Structures are given as C-alpha cells and as structure tokens.
Amino acid sequence: MSFLDQLAELRARATAALAESVHDLPSLQAWERQFLGGRGELTALLRGIGSVPAEERPEAGREANALKRELTAHYEAREAELATADLAQRLESDAVDVTLPGRRSPLGTVHPVWKMIDEVSQIFALMGFETVFGPEVEIGRYNFDLLNIPSDHPARDVWDTIIVESDREEIVLRTHTSPMQARIMEQREPPVRVIVPGRTYRYEAQDASHEWMFTQIEGLAVDENIKMTDLKGVLQEMARQLFGPNRRIRFRCDFFPFVEPGVDFAVDCAICDGKGCRVCKQTGWLEMGGAGMVHPRVLQGVGYDPERYTGFAFGLGVERLVMMKYGVNDLRAFAGNDLRFLRQFAAATI
Ligand code: PHE
C-alpha cells in the first residue's frame, strides 16, 4: 500500500472510531492515544516516511501534516462538545428545583375569645372608650379592699379566690377584671372611659358553663352626671352591634359590693328573638354579666369626690358572648386546645 493510501486508510479508521466508540472524555483520551499521540499510529506512519520515494516525499509530508491537523481539530471539537455535555448533565443531576413548594408550617389564627375582645373593643372605641390591660396576679387591696370588699366581709368568699400568697400580703389570681377600676381611677382624673379585657381565675369545679379560668371585659365610665341610663344605652348599643339591631337589654337587681345599685344584665336571645328556645333555655334572655353605678365608697377610696362624680361599671363574660354568637355549647372548648374547634373560627371576621 502506498504511503498516501495508508494515510487515507488511517483517516477513515480514525474518523469512524471517533464516531463509534468515543462517548465521553476517557474514551476520547484513548482515541487520542491510539491515533494522534507520540506512540500513536500517525506518528508511527510518519517515522516510515523515509522509505517513500524522494519525488513523492514532499506531497506525502504535506498530506501527513494535513491529516494531523485534521485529527487534532476533530479531537478539540469533540473535547469541547463533551465538556459542554458533561456540564449540562451535571447541572441537571445536581439541580435544585427552586420552584418546588417548601414545607409549610401551620399558620395560627386569633383565638375566638380574642377575636371577640377585638370586636367589642372596636365597638367601645367608637363610643370613646380606651382599651387598657391590667395584671392577672393581683393584690388583695385592688381585687377586694378598694372595691368595698373588706377582709372580714362575707362577700369575699363569693369569689372563690385562687390565693398565690397570703403570708405578708394577700396575693391572688384576680377573680375579676374589676380591680382595674381602682387602678385606673388612682392613676387618672375624670372623665374616665375605659374597657379592660383579660383573663380571670376562680377556684371552681369545671362543667359546661364553669371554668377555673375565663375572660372578662370590664367597663368603667366616671364623670359628672353619669347616669344609669348611660349604662343601659352603652350596653344596648354593644348588644345591637354584636347581635343585630333589634336586641334589647334587661336589668335585674343584683348585689356587688362595689356598685349601688347593682344589676345583672341580659340581652334578649337573638336565635329566637326572645320567644324562648334551646339556646336561651326557654327564657328568651341570655345572661351577659354584672353592672351598676360605681359605689361612692369606691370613688372615695381612690380620691374622687362622690358628690361631684358618678360612674357606671360593668363586667362581661367574653366566652359567653362567643357562645351566644356562634352557638358554642361547652365553655371548656375555649381552653381545651382542640384544633378542630379552633379552626372553625379561622375564617370568622372581626
Ligand atoms: N366583677 C363582677 C364579677 O365578676 C362583675 C361586675 C363588674 C359587677 C362591674 C358590677 C360592676 O362578678
């Protein structure tokens, strides 16, 4: 076979091998070693160029160099191609799909009791009442003494107090939000108009309508010329905002040492429009809390002149409001932490 024919044959084999057996960088290296490298076939062929007749040698040399450039160009092109493919493949296999949704942590919602507090606060804000908060751990002076419940008074027992400490000074979990009446009046001069939402505690056996912890909203307004009708008007307005425009408020005589006169107040049942149903236990009325005109002794105790100022106060049971509004029939559900119960309020708007 002539030298030129051998070159042609080598070109054909090298090109075919490149197409057939080179599929990654290692096999490309092997191909390079076989055909192009220092010990490769083309080098071996070139070594034998001396035996080519002298007049054919220049052409043989040109052709051999041309083949070397050609194979080198093939090699470089293929190497670039494989490197790109390799990168593309690694990008694919190592890829992080940033569009995949992450693991969602459960989103909490406002507790129904606090939704109701927000709602009631808004209603009272429009009537000029500021919302304030007070301590849940109280001293006897505010929980009782300044509310006209001296320590020897039998009424003190009515509140089923959870006592935290009794050695030096009586420290209790507040049994109602009323101690904030005294705290606020001590701090401010009339006119006073506040509501005080918060937790309260009583040592009680639990059942569907009693809990050892529950929530109240205290209301207090003190100024010149505050009258019982103002109290009734304010409570009626709240009931209408909460339960509809036809609601009525009922006062009945009741006794609380810090008000005179004292009442318990009820709203007529929104479910049956006061006719009597299961929710209102056929009475037509739903009890909401206690209220009355601030006792002159309470005003005196905080340094207000009872000849000049009068005021009203009320205490609402918040769980009770939610129960009425949403037909909840067991008070224990509120602190029971059952998500199936709580989730039902997630969409309720305030
Ligand atoms: N603090 C009273 C209770 O918890 C309710 C109340 C508040 C009564 C204000 C009159 C005035 O029973």
Q: Which residues pair with 317 in a beta bridge?
A: 216
Q: Which residues of 116-125 are buried (b: 16+ CB within 10 A; e: fewer)?
A: bbebbbebbe
Residue to mutate, 201, 204, 258, 264, ligand 1, most ligand atoms under 8 Å from C-beta = 258
Residue that is written with structure tokens 């044959």 in the block? 9
The whole-angstrom separation of Cα 62 and Cα 231 is 115
CA angle, residues 126, 226, 315, in degrees to nearest 5: 65
Residue type, 34: Q
The whole-angstrom separation of Cα 246 and Cα 238 is 12
Q: DSSP letters of 129-141?
A: PEE----SEEEHH
Is pLDDT of 171 > 50? yes
Shortest-distance Cα residue to atom 3 of ligand 1: 176
Mean of pLDDT values over 282-298 = 95
Clarify whether 259 is annotated catalytic: yes
Ligand 1 atom, smallest distance to 315 CA: 7
Q: Choosing from 291, 313, 318, 322, which is the catalytic residue?
A: 313
Clarify whether 176 is annotated catalytic: yes
| More confident position, 348 or 157 | 157
Is pLDDT of 107 > 90? no
Q: Residue 272 C-alpha to ligand 1 middle, in angstroms? A: 27
Residue type, 203: Y
pLDDT of residue 348: 55
The whole-angstrom separation of Cα 56 and Cα 1 is 14
Q: Residue 274 C-alpha to ligand 1 middle, in angstroms? A: 25
Clarify whether 313 is annotated catalytic: yes
pTM of the model: 0.70
pLDDT of residue 229: 97
What value does the mean pLDDT of the chain take?
91
Report residue 98 as tokens.
């940033």
Q: Residue 170 C-alpha to ligand 1 middle, in angstroms? A: 20
Contacts of 255 by beta carbon, 8 Å cutoff, 6+ apart: 262
Q: Residue 249 C-alpha to ligand 1 middle, in angstroms? A: 17
pLDDT of residue 279: 76
Ligand 1 atom, smallest distance to 220 CA: 9
pLDDT of residue 156: 73
pLDDT of residue 275: 92
Residue type, 264: D
Clarify whether 17 is annotated catalytic: no
- When mean pLDDT is compared across 26-35, 149-158, 230-239, the lowest value belongs to 149-158
Is pLDDT of 158 > 70? no
Is the four-CA dihedral 88, 91, 93, 95 of positive or negative sign? negative
Residue to mutate, 256, 260, 287, 312, ligand 1, most ligand atoms under 8 Å from C-beta = 256
Q: Choosing from 64, 120, 239, 259, which is the catalytic residue?
A: 259
End-to-end CA distance of the chain: 99
Is pLDDT of 147 > 70? yes
Residue to mutate, 172, 175, 176, 213, ligand 1, most ligand atoms under 8 Å from C-beta = 176
pLDDT of residue 221: 98
Clarify whether 212 is annotated catalytic: no
Ligand 1 atom, smallest distance to 216 CA: 4
Is pLDDT of 338 > 70? yes
Check if the beta carbon of residue 290 is closer than 8 Å to that of residue 218.
Answer: no
Count of C-beta atoms within a 10 Å radius of residue 135: 13
pLDDT band at 108 (very low <50, low <70, confident <90, very high): confident
Check if the beta carbon of residue 192 is closer than 8 Å to that of residue 224.
Answer: no
- When mean pLDDT is compared across 164-168, 184-188, 199-203, 310-314, the lowest value belongs to 164-168
pLDDT of residue 350: 43
